[in-house]
């Protein structure tokens, strides 16, 4: 019979991450936040309110220019986006990010969902054909096929 995994404390998780050669460092100028890095990827975690676990502050991503990049899916291709630039997500970088996340989840005892196990999950999905659908109907841009013809 499967046993429910024991929830590790924040300090136990950090100790185990250090043992497995993750870089663990405090975020400068921010209280109670820790940056975890390995394989050129990083995540920011903090102690959970109940002291029994941890909470993700910044989603995992590759470090580009000293900044954790976020994965954006544009339908036809994935991109890593920082505050300064956007880069195409290569298969190698996606595999590295997936390996980092899997190693991190193994240490923290987090559950791996089916869609996450298949591959890397994006932080945002920005398909051009659905752009503006979240706006109120009156504010949505007029689709090209409904615009008056101009000759």
For residue range 76-101, list pLDDT tens digits in order.
Answer: 788 999 999 999 999 999 999 989 99
Q: Which comes out higher in pLDDT, residue 106 or 113?
A: 106
For residue range 33-68, list pLDDT tens digits in order.
Answer: 899 999 999 999 988 776 567 888 888 999 999 999
Could you give the CA distance from residue 70 to residue 73 in angstroms, rounded to a whole number? 10
Contact 72, 126 (CB under 8 A): yes
pLDDT of residue 130: 65
Could you give the CA distance from residue 120 to residue 66 in angstroms, rounded to a whole number? 21
Residue % of the chain over a pLDDT of 70:
81
pLDDT of residue 145: 74
pTM for the whole thing? 0.73
9 C-beta neighbours (distance < 10 Å), count: 14
pLDDT of residue 38: 94
Kindly state the average pLDDT of the residues 98-118: 80
pLDDT of residue 133: 72
């Amino acid at each position: 019979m499967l046993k429910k995994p024991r929830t590790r404390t924040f300090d136990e998780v950090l100790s185990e991450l250090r043992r497995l050669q993750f870089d663990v460092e405090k975020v400068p100028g921010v209280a109670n936040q820790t940056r975890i890095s390995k394989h050129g990827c990083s995540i920011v975690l903090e102690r959970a309110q109940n002291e029994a676990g941890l909470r993700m502050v910044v989603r995992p991503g590759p470090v580009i220019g000293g900044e954790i990049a976020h994965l954006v899916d544009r339908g036809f291709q994935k991109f890593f986006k920082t505050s300064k630039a956007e880069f195409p997500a290569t298969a190698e970088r996606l595999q590295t990010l997936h390996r980092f996340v899997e190693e991190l989840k193994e240490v923290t005892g987090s559950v791996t969902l089916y869609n996450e196990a298949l591959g890397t999950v994006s932080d945002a999905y920005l398909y051009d054909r659905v752009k503006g659908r979240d706006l109120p109907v009156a504010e949505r841009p007029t689709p090209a096929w409904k615009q008056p013809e101009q000759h």
